[in-house]
Amino acid sequence: MSTVGLKLRELREKAGFSLRKAAVAIDVDVAILSKMERGERRFSKESVLKLAELYKTNSDKLVIDFLSEKVLYELEEEEFALEALKVAEKQLKYKKKGK
């Protein structure tokens, strides 16, 4: 199960939304939202933000979880994934300094 999916399911249940009501609110099929919560399908950033707003929760941590899963999905089978992440981190820091 995906981290963001699990967290969003917990938030949905805590907020008192049925799967159907949450799916309708963000214009997604119920079966698709169910698969997203179970980690069988990936969320879009847009859907994460919509659900965070619907559940009245801060979206920052959810977006971080979404992005980390996105990176993991792309790199999990790569031999040099960790080295590539280190290089990317340096490049991000350099670009942030330049702004």
Report the CATH number at residue 9. 1.10.260.40
Q: Which residues of 78-89 are buried (b: 16+ CB within 10 A; e: fewer)?
A: eeeeeeeeeeee
Sign for the CA dihedral angle at 91, 97, 98, 99 comes to positive
Q: What digits encode the pLDDT tens for the residues 59-90?
A: 999 999 999 999 998 999 999 999 999 999 99
For residue 16, what are the domain limits?
3-98
Look up residue 14 and give its amino acid. K
Q: How many domains does the chain contain in total?
A: 1
In whole angstroms, how far apart are CA 30 and each of 46, 63, 82, 96? 17, 22, 36, 39
Q: How much is the pLDDT for 95?
A: 87
pLDDT (0 to 100) of residue 98: 78
- Looking up tokens 């031999």 gives 79
pLDDT band at 2 (very low <50, low <70, confident <90, very high): low
